[in-house]
Amino acid sequence: MGKWLERLRGPGERKAAGAQTVFAMTGAGDAQWSRRGFSSLAAEGFGRNPIVYRCVRLIAEAANRVPFKAREGGQTLSEHPALDLLARPNPRQSGGEMLESVYAYLQTAGNAYLEAVTVEGEIKGLYCLRPDRMRVVAGADGWPVAYSYTAGGRTMRLSQEAEPIPSVLHMALFHPLDDHYGMAPLEAAQTSLDIHNAASRWNKALLDNAARPSGALVYSMAAGNLTPEQFERLKDELAIGFQGAANAGRPMVLEGGLDWKTIALSPRDMDFIEAKNGAAREIALAFGVPPMLLGIPGDNTYANLVEANRALWRQTVMPLVERVADDLGNWLSPAFGGKLVLTPDFDGVEALAEDRAALWARVSSADFLSDAEKRALVGVTG
């Protein structure tokens, strides 16, 4: 540091006796945010953030456990061509793999797309397409008339006027400012995602640089202080060499009248662990996942894991599965006579067993209901 100051002074420069010179290293500046868009958020969130990754996997895997039932004319059918199609949609994927992709894309992109491959008016396969490769082709009235899909340097046009059903089923979560594309929970959690990732990077940088705190550099040589030009040069070199997350805690060798004074907030004062936990809670809130299920410390809102798991199913998974089943049924119905209804079967879900048992008990004790009405109330028809 002493040689550094000699270089800043330059040869032949004289020093005036007197005051100290203080270089404050606050590190303040504009916040840096991840870019908008599916590719950027998927890379920063699902690819690099464990909270986002676990939320998406938890929801998609739970929703994928729910089977669909086919109904036609008020009759529940154990076998139906539509169920066979969903069980084996294409040669490369199982039905569970395809639906898991649908649920995951809705959480990360806010949009999910299924393409129907038809031969001579009969559906032969279903394929899940990547949302970042799809573009809406709007007609004169503003409604989609086709979708363009770009892959391998080629762009294909998928018409919505195809027979017997439109080529593409577009499932989109509600977006208040967009007519065609949905808003994903990941997009709503972007600020918390950036805070969580930044805290992780900062802590890693501190570990790499011996975890030294920020502060002020005090120059108090008895012979005098620096000129304005020397002050600016030293301040610039401090900013380049010691500010920012990449230089967090970088060790500094002090010589020649320089002294280090810790000021403002240190990483310990800011408590990055709690900051990360707070950001993690907000990410979980956006996805509708109880924080207790993610192992975030200090979250005891629910009495136990059973209640937290039940809340996940009631508030997040069930609405998602019902929405996807409804969209699929409406889309596929014209290809199967126009009377097909797909409904999710939650009877086999362990987390909801207590709710189902309570429903059955209430219905069974209702003597004023007929057997047919009781069966309808508990979802058994036919």
User: Which of 205 and 278 is assigned the larger pLDDT?
Assistant: 278
Write phi, then psi, for 136 (nearest 5 degrees): -75, 135
Instruction: Report the share of the chain in percent with pLDDT over 90.
Output: 46
Q: DSSP readout, 13-69? A: ---BSS--EEEE---------PPSSHHHHIIIIITT-HHHHHHHHHHHHHHHTPPEE
- Asked if the model's pLDDT at residue 108 lies above 90, the reply is yes
CA angle 141, 173, 69 (to 5 degrees): 105
User: Which of 11 and 271 is assigned the larger pLDDT?
Assistant: 271
Least confident of 15-24, 42-51, 163-172, 301-310: 15-24
Least confident of 258-267, 290-299, 366-375: 258-267
> What pLDDT, on a 0 to 100 scale, did the predictor assign at position 157?
94
**Band of the pLDDT at 16, cuts 50, 70, 90?**
very low
- Asked if the model's pLDDT at residue 113 lies above 90, the reply is yes
CA distance 266 to 277: 18
pLDDT average, residue stretch 65-94: 91
pLDDT average, residue stretch 284-311: 84
- Asked if the model's pLDDT at residue 325 lies above 70, the reply is yes
Token readout for 211 is 């975890």
Can you give the pTM of this predicted structure?
0.76
> What pLDDT, on a 0 to 100 scale, did the predictor assign at position 20?
47
- Asked if the model's pLDDT at residue 103 lies above 90, the reply is yes
- Asked if the model's pLDDT at residue 233 lies above 60, the reply is yes
CA distance 363 to 323: 26
- Asked if the model's pLDDT at residue 24 lies above 70, the reply is no
> What pLDDT, on a 0 to 100 scale, did the predictor assign at position 188?
93
Least confident of 4-13, 281-290, 371-380: 4-13
| Averaged pLDDT of the chain | 80
Least confident of 58-62, 85-89, 155-159, 243-247: 243-247
User: Which of 208 and 199 is assigned the larger pLDDT?
Assistant: 199
CA distance 203 to 267: 8
Q: Which contacts qualify for 48-53: CB closer than 8 Å, 24 or more apart?
A: 48/197, 49/193, 49/196, 49/197, 49/283, 51/196, 51/280, 51/283, 51/284, 51/294, 52/186, 52/189, 52/193, 52/283, 52/287
> What pLDDT, on a 0 to 100 scale, did the predictor assign at position 28?
45
> What pLDDT, on a 0 to 100 scale, did the predictor assign at position 242?
65
